């Protein structure tokens, strides 16, 4: 382990010094230097999956990017593909001097590439942005979803080798599925004030309603809603020669839920109510960030901190009446330092403590005697990160290698009580691994080789090792009965975690004549095999996917036509797309999609 860490650190240090040494050579050959974002963006990281995120709390969907249109337009889109896949709908954008309005309706249908894997969805998105005053902004977001998805279940290794696209007979007999509707509305208000408009306040309210049935071992009818309120204050100030951006905010959230459980008769509920549960989730969050410019356009320090208090309450209303309650609270601080080595290259490092409580569905107990899992603890981690980022743009007269973007990141996490999933005859539960170490890196680069000819490359690698992990594991014996088995997984690798993945892409856009462009894209992806269980007894093989796309875009006055066709998994490789981790009866394997095609046609009109 130590030589690997030293190797990663050596690569980053060598790259830093090589970039500094090359600066004069770059300038001498006509390179223009473009500056990176000077400030540290709270919540941004080279490895977002392991970075403490303090972006705006409350889970508000970020639809505002879709509102950045300049003219009103109407687009009718159509896509057809393999396995009865369709995606049809319409998008309307309206812009006036006072507001922007965007709405999109789509209907998706897919027969599925596996047995018992069909789905359909109706989706309506609505977004409105307006300015009540010269220094304020009001945004209203909403969506409605209605549909159903059938679950094929996972296969044993023997079943996968015979027919990877078959379904688990148990899932078919149960008609495992999820069917229902969900709607959400978010209202957000922003306003700037102060003599120099250096203060900003954001207030948001949000709520959603969900009603669905979940057919697995039992037939469940679930109804729940949530309401929440978030607020944030941001102040930009100058303390002598030092720039400082300070923000503070919080989030209040409550979600009542009611679940009816019936016996499942082939996907239909019985007449007898077996269980009635009422659950309530309450969350309080407070966060603070401070971004300080220590040296002008050179050295930046960012501190973030979040306190979270989470309460779960569950009541069983049928006989025997029982109730349970779980409370999780903790503080997650992080310190990030960023140094602008040159205007075109920056390095950063961070160290943070993370507190991650379990979700409500992770608290389910595998033992009927308990409502909540009495042994489940919150996950805590200590994470160190090191990153480098560079962005170079050559002079406009350059024909080759005009733009180059590169970033790399390395991280190491020491994790206490890692939340690990396991499956028991179709139901998912969670347990804790006492101590584990996660080590990883990420490389990403984009290069414009020639005018409109772009090359992309990315590579990630992770390694999760259990340092201490003694547990009681629910497993199926030779007769199919579940038994508790004492296991010690210390020294094993974590499941469902590819050691390495690589992506290479090449895209080209060619203007045939004025207002008619053709474009093409070819991508190649390699993902290594990964373990499917904590015992490291089931493993998937590596797979390689080649995808291609060809299209044309035409503009005739205010009309726009975009047509494309693509072929994915060109070599029709059979592979495991994902694993059902720690399955009690070793049903780990779920096939990825085989060779498939799609054809799309978008018809647009700009007003």
**What are the residues whose beta carbons fall under 8 Å from the beta carbon of 196, sequence distance 6 or more?**
none
Residue with the bigger pLDDT between 28 and 395: it is 395
| Structure token digits, residue 266 | 């082939």
Largest distance between two CA atoms of the chain: 82
* pLDDT computed for residue 66 by the predictor: 62
> What b/e sequence results for 459-498 when a residue is b if at least 16 CB atoms lie within 10 Å of its CB, and e otherwise?
bbbbbbbbeebebebbbbeeeeeeeeeeeebeebbbbbbb
The encoded tokens of residue 600 equal 């799309």
Token pair belonging to 579: 């694993």
E strand spans, 322-469 = 322-342, 345-356, 379-394, 403-424, 427-450, 453-468
| Residue 74 pLDDT greater than 60, yes or no | yes
**pLDDT score of 1:** 39
Segments of 24-70 assigned E as strands: 31-33
- Residue 437 confidence (pLDDT): 95
Query: Over the stretch 232-268, which tens digit does the pLDDT of each residue have?
Result: 999 998 877 788 999 999 999 999 999 999 999 999 9
Neighbours of 227 (CB within 10 A): 14
Helix, strand or coil, per DSSP, at residue 401:
coil
Cβ-contact 202, 190 below 8 angstroms: yes
Cβ atoms < 10 Å from Cβ of 302:
23
Are 120 and 108 in contact by the 8 Å Cβ rule? The answer is yes
Distances in whole angstroms, Cα of residue 95 to Cα of each of 349, 424, 501 = 42, 53, 43
Residue among 492, 449, 451 at smallest CA distance from 469: 492
Q: Put residue 317 in one of left, alpha, beta given phi > 0 → left and psi -120 to 50 → alpha.
A: alpha
Strand partners, 462: 440
Q: What value does the mean pLDDT take over residues 334-343?
A: 93
Q: Is 83 left (phi over 0), alpha (psi -120 to 50) or beta?
A: left
Summarize pLDDT for 471-529 with one digit per residue, the tens.
999 888 888 788 889 999 999 999 988 999 999 999 999 998 888 999 999 999 999 99
Q: Report pLDDT digits (tens) over 135-154.
A: 999 999 999 999 999 999 99
With tokens 């309080």, the residue in question is 284
Beta-strand runs (E) in 22-152: 31-33, 73-81, 85-95, 99-110, 119-130, 136-150
At residue 57 the predicted structure's pLDDT band, cuts being 50, 70 and 90, is very low
Domains along the sequence of the chain with CATH: 70-177 (2.40.160), 379-607 (2.40.170.20)
Examine the pLDDT at 392 and tell me if it is beyond 80.
yes
Q: pLDDT-based confidence at 401, cuts 50/70/90?
A: confident
Q: Which of 427, 323, 406, 418 lies closest to 371, judged by CA?
A: 323
Tell me the per-residue pLDDT of 531-563, one tens digit each, with 9 for 90 and over. Answer: 999 999 999 999 999 999 999 999 988 899 999
Structure tokens at 50: 């392991």
What's the alpha-carbon Rg for the chain, to the nearest Å?
Answer: 27
| Res. 184: pLDDT tops 80 | yes
pLDDT of 65 strictly over 80: no
- What pLDDT score was predicted for residue 38? 46
Q: What's the length of the chain?
A: 607
Q: Which residues touch 197 (CB under 8 Å, ≥6 apart)?
A: 135
Average pLDDT over residues 79-107: 92
Predicted confidence at residue 490, as pLDDT, reads 95
Residue 421 CA to residue 437 CA, distance in Å, equals 17
Share of the chain above pLDDT 90, in %: 72
Distances (CA, A) of 571 to 81, 124, 462, 521, 597: 17, 36, 27, 16, 12
Residue 16: what pLDDT? 41
> What is the rounded average pLDDT of the residues 316-339?
91
């Amino acid at each position: 382990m130590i030589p690997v860490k030293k190797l990663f650190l050596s690569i980053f240090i060598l790259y830093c010094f090589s970039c500094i040494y090359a600066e004069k050579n770059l300038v001498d050959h006509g390179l223009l230097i473009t500056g990176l974002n000077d400030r540290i963006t709270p919540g941004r990281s080279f490895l977002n999956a392991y970075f403490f995120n303090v972006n705006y709390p409350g889970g508000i969907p970020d639809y505002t990017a879709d509102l950045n249109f300049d003219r009103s337009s109407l687009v009718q889109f159509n896509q057809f593909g393999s396995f009865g896949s369709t995606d049809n709908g319409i998008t309307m954008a309206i812009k006036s001097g006072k507001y922007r309005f965007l709405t999109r309706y789509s209907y998706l249908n897919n027969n599925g590439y596996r047995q018992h894997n069909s789905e359909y969805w109706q989706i309506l998105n609505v977004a409105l942005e307006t300015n009540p005053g010269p220094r304020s902004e009001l945004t209203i977001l909403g969506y409605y979803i209605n549909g159903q998805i059938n679950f094929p279940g996972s296969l044993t290794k023997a079943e996968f080798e015979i027919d990877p696209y078959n379904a688990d007979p148990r899932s078919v007999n149960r008609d495992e599925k999820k069917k229902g509707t969900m709607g959400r509305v978010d209202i957000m208000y922003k306003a700037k004030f102060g003599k120099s408009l250096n203060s900003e306040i954001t207030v948001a309210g949000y709520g959603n309603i969900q009603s669905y049935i979940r057919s697995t071992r039992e037939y469940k009818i679930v109804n729940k809603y949530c309401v929440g309120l978030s607020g944030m204050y941001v102040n930009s100030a100058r303390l002598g020669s030092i720039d400082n951006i300070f923000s503070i905010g919080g989030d209040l959230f409550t979600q009542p839920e009611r679940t009816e459980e019936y016996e499942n008769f082939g996907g239909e509920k019985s007449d007898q109510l077996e269980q009635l549960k009422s659950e309530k989730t309450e969350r309080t969050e407070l966060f603070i960030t401070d971004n300080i410019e220590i040296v002008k356009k050179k050295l930046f320090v960012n501190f973030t901190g979040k306190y979270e208090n989470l309460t779960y309450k569950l009541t069983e209303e049928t006989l025997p009446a029982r109730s349970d309650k779980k409370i999780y609270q903790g503080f997650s601080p992080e310190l990030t330092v960023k140094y602008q080595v040159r205007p075109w290259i920056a390095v950063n490092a961070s160290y943070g403590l993370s507190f991650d409580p379990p979700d409500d569905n992770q608290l389910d107990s595998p033992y009927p005697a308990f409502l909540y899992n009495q042994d489940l603890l919150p996950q805590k981690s200590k994470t160190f990160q090191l990153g480098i980022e560079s962005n170079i743009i050559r002079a406009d007269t350059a024909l080759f290698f005009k733009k180059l973007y590169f970033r790399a990141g390395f991280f190491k996490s020491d994790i206490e009580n890692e939340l690990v999933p396991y499956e028991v005859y179709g139901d998912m539960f969670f347990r804790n691994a006492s101590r584990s170490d996660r080590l990883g890196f990420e490389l990403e680069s984009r290069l414009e080789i020639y005018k409109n000819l772009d090359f992309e490359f990315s590579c990630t690698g992770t390694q999760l090792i259990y340092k201490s992990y003694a547990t009681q594991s629910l497993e199926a014996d030779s007769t199919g009965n579940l038994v508790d088995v004492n296991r010690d997984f210390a020294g094993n690798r974590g499941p469902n975690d590819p050691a390495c993945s690589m992506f290479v892409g090449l895209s080209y856009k060619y203007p045939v004549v004025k207002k008619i462009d053709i474009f093409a894209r070819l991508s190649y992806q390699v993902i290594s095999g990964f373990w499917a269980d904590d015992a490291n007894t089931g493993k998937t093989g590596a797979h390689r996917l080649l995808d291609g796309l060809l299209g044309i875009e035409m503009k005739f006055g205010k009309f726009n036509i975009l047509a494309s066709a693509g072929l994915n998994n060109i070599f029709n490789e059979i592979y495991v797309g994902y694993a059902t981790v720690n399955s009690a009866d070793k049903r780990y394997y779920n096939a990825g999609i085989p060779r498939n095609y799609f054809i799309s046609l978008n018809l647009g009109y700009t007003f």
